[in-house]
């Protein structure tokens, strides 16, 4: 296949996803749901941070989680235990979530009873970046144990996100990486990133993170209108 053909095929696949993402975005708007697409490496602490954050959300925020993993529904079970409805997508080898999978997954949720949907993407810093899931905000999760040069190595995950959650900061003394350096590397690529430095173990940084996730309710606004 010539390079030209490869490019046009990729464009076609992505634009199909873009159409589905547009549908999702309209659906979320109708239902007054804020959607957050969470991207990060396997083991970066995405599920742990949700387990810590969910019980701290104020009553007005009604959150559900779509979990993406290659196999198992372990994470969906963890989220249910933490107190939020959750649906697992098992991608059976797929290394990212696409709009079609998310449309199917949200069919299992009662959308009129939530105002915040968090999608925990498959652990991967590469192709999830190219798949819009209709989110309002994209969040990149990066643990200090992965090293402080991650933004320089995988820039698009950081440049396409609106917020960076640095996890496992309690482990910084034990690894050859600095939280400030990770933060500054990310900000050098994307100065608009909102940055949260957290530890799911100690709860450090969660007041600010919960305020960020919190829905001052699109649904409450609708009642006022």
Binding site for Mg ion (CB under 5 A): 46-47, 75
The CB-of-148 to Zn ion minimum distance in angstroms stands at 25
Which window, 12-20, 110-118, 124-132, 149-157, contacts Zn ion (CB under 5 A)? Answer: 124-132
Q: Which stretch binds Zn ion (CB under 5 A): 23-31, 35-43, 121-129, 194-202?
A: 121-129
75 binds, among Mg ion, Zn ion, none (CB under 5 to 8 A by kind): Mg ion
Of Mg ion, Zn ion, none, which one sits near residue 62, judging by CB under 5 to 8 A according to partner kind? none
Per CB under 5 A, 127 contacts Zn ion: yes
Q: Residue 34 or residue 46: which is nearer to Mg ion going by CB?
A: 46
Does residue 95 bind Zn ion (CB under 5 A)?
yes
Residue whose CB is nearest to Mg ion in the complex, by number: 47
Cβ closest to Zn ion, residue 46 vs residue 183: 46
| Residue placing its CB nearer to Zn ion in the complex, 31 or 75 | 75
Q: Count the residues of the shown chain that bind Zn ion, applying the rule CB under 5 A.
A: 3
Q: Supply the DSSP string of the chain, one letter for each residue.
A: --HHHHHHHHHHHHHHHHHHHHHHHHHHHHTT-EEEEEEE-TTSSHHHHHHHHGGGS-TT--EEEEEEESS-SHHHHHHHHHTS-EEEEE-TT-SS--HHHHHHHHTTS-GGG-SEEEEE--S-SSGGGG---S-SEEEEEEEGGG-TTHHHHSHHHHHT-SEEEEE-GGGGGGSS--HHHHHHHHHHH-TT-EEEE--TTT-TTHHHHHHHH----HHHHHHH-
């Amino acid at each position: 296949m010539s390079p030209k053909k490869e490019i046009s095929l990729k464009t076609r696949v992505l634009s199909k996803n873009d159409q589905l993402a547009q549908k999702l975005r309209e659906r979320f708007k109708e239902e007054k749901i804020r959607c957050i697409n969470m991207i990060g490496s396997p083991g970066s602490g995405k599920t742990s941070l949700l387990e810590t954050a969910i019980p701290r959300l104020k009553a007005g925020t009604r959150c559900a989680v779509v979990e993406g993993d290659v196999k198992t529904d372990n994470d969906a079970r963890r989220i249910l235990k933490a107190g939020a409805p959750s649906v697992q997508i098992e991608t059976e080898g797929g290394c990212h979530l696409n709009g079609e999978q998310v449309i199917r997954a949200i069919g299992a949720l009662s959308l009129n009873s939530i105002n915040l949907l968090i999608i925990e993407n498959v652990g991967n810093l590469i192709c999830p970046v190219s798949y819009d899931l209709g989110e309002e905000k994209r969040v990149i999760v990066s643990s200090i144990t992965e090293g402080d040069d991650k933004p320089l190595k995988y820039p698009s995950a950081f440049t396409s996100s609106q917020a960076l959650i640095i996890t496992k900061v309690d482990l910084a003394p034990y690894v050859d990486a600095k939280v400030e350096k990770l933060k500054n590397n990310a900000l050098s690529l994307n100065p608009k990133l909102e940055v949260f430095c957290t530890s799911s173990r100690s709860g450090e940084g969660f007041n600010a993170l919960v305020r960020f996730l919190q829905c001052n309710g699109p649904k409450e606004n609708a009642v006022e209108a």
